[in-house]
Amino acid sequence: MADPFIGSEALDAGLVTPGQLITGHVRVFRDVYLHRDIEVTAVDRARAGWLWSKRQGVVAGFSASALHGGQWVGADRPVELIHGNRHRLPGLLIRGDTLRCDEIQVIDGVPVTTPARTAVDLACWYRTVEAVAGLDALARAADFKDVDVQRIVDRCGGRRGIVRARESLGLVDAGAESPKESWLRVILIRAGLPPPVTQIPVYDGYWQPFAVLDMGWLEAKVAAEYDGDTHRTDHIRWRRDAKRHERLQRCGWIVVRVLAGDREGDVIRRVRSALARRA
């Protein structure tokens, strides 16, 4: 069986023997198993968590985002469920929030918070930088409308975290292609810089762009890009990026390259300085 299953049910149905259950499968949660040869994903764990709840819970938060197709949800994250059983268990994060009927949908038989409700939950439950990274990924995967999100926010006037949620929801941009790009955009906006445009195509006399910048300010021709550890781990890509950078300079762009380990204050200073030079 490729999907998570309840062990006792499979035994009763004769689908596996006790020996096969033990030797050929791994236990994800109590009485919930997955085939040993399958690489467990966040989606698998979300389904397994729902089965653990005896099919009574609703998958929420980052787990819901994974079921909606959102990226960047690690399999090591606790499964988030809205459920009446609030006992703390390893690998499970149970929340006692209430849900309305129009805030739940079913994906492959599993009840999940809608994209709009998932967005509000992420914004309430997590600090801004982590929340926005999750919201960006959710926005790329699922089309949730601002009006639906606002309706849920209006219902949650006294909810814990709702003030922070409004800030996070106002920072969502589906153009982010990694959590670090989300982080970079958030710290720049929170520093008082104008919100950058994401995924900017750059042309050099041809109909097809030779580069797409992570984010930037079109009028100033200033961009910011997160390069991570590429300069250390992939020399071929590093050389290609260096040539791309030279070409961008010839097109009039100032590109601030942000590397893993760069300090937040230094990044902000460098971007602010680049914008000041073009003011």
Alpha helices, DSSP H, located in the chain: 7-12, 18-24, 42-52, 61-67, 115-125, 128-141, 146-155, 162-169, 179-190, 230-233, 235-250, 264-277
| Predicted pLDDT at 69 | 97
Least confident of 170-174, 191-195, 239-243: 239-243
Residues in CB range of 174: below 8 A, 6 or more apart: 136, 139, 140
CATH annotation of 179-277 = 3.40.960
Total residue count of the chain as it appears in this document: 279
What ranges do the domains of the chain cover?
1-38, 39-169, 179-277
Q: How confident is the model at residue 22 (pLDDT cuts 50, 70, 90)?
A: very high
CA distances from 23 to 3, 11, 32 (A): 17, 14, 14
| Predicted pLDDT at 229 | 67
| Predicted pLDDT at 242 | 79
Please determine, for residue 86, whether its predicted confidence score (pLDDT) is greater than 60: yes
d(CA 258, CA 118): 30
Residue that the structure tokens 């499968």 belong to: 25
Mean pLDDT score, 128-139: 97
| Predicted pLDDT at 128 | 96
Higher pLDDT, 46 or 159: 46
Mean pLDDT score, 33-58: 96
Mean of the per-residue pLDDT values of the chain? 93
**196: closest CA among 116, 249, 261, 272?**
272
pLDDT tens sequence across 210-259 = 999 999 999 999 999 998 765 566 667 777 877 888 999 999 999 999 99
